[in-house]
Structure 1
């Protein structure tokens, strides 16, 4: 079940309208629609916690592994990292769309890709930090 499906189910269980939830959470009603349709996700861990508290559920219930991955990319690398992470997930989801992989195998593939993503980000950060160190030591720009 996706975040949007969980969100909508929780809202409907409470008998609340999208407008009521938006007002209570302090966000635009259009964002609720975007959540429920799977177009958007909360961007921060704090937003997930606020929603979980509002509905009286554990935050881990709301987070899928993919949501957690995208949020972590956003926290570490900003909007660009978030976009790259979401594109990676969307691309891989397309490959799985009509496939014969079990859910467990799909999860294993996604986990492996996420690990590769983090390793490449770390390598790139290390390369960049070496260049910065050279600039600092030499006192000139690259």
Structure 2
């Protein structure tokens, strides 16, 4: 299953009620960088993904390819 990471980032930001500017300020990047992540026109480094998840209160779960995951 392929995940639309940008869409997930946008959903997480919406749940927290952050604007692009607020999210960018908290992550030390410009609002347009957050927008690029959310629109999948720029890929964040793994460390940035961790920071985004921490900011929004989510954990990263890495599952080996081929593993069956209950929904």
Q: TM-score range by the shorter chain?
A: 0.7 to 0.9
Alpha-carbon distance, 1:41 to partner: 1.6
| TM-score (structure 2 length as normaliser) | 0.75
1:16 corresponds to: 18
Q: How many residues align?
A: 62
2:40 corresponds to: 38
RMSD between aligned residues: 2.0
| TM-score (structure 1 length as normaliser) | 0.40
Q: Please state which structure has a larger fraction of its residues in helix.
A: 1
CA distance in 2, matches of 1:47, 1:59: 12
1:58 corresponds to: 59
Can you give the 5+ residue segments of structure 2 that lack an aligned partner in the other structure?
A: 67-71
Larger Rg: 1
Return the structure number with greater relative CO, CA threshold 8 A, min gap 6: 2
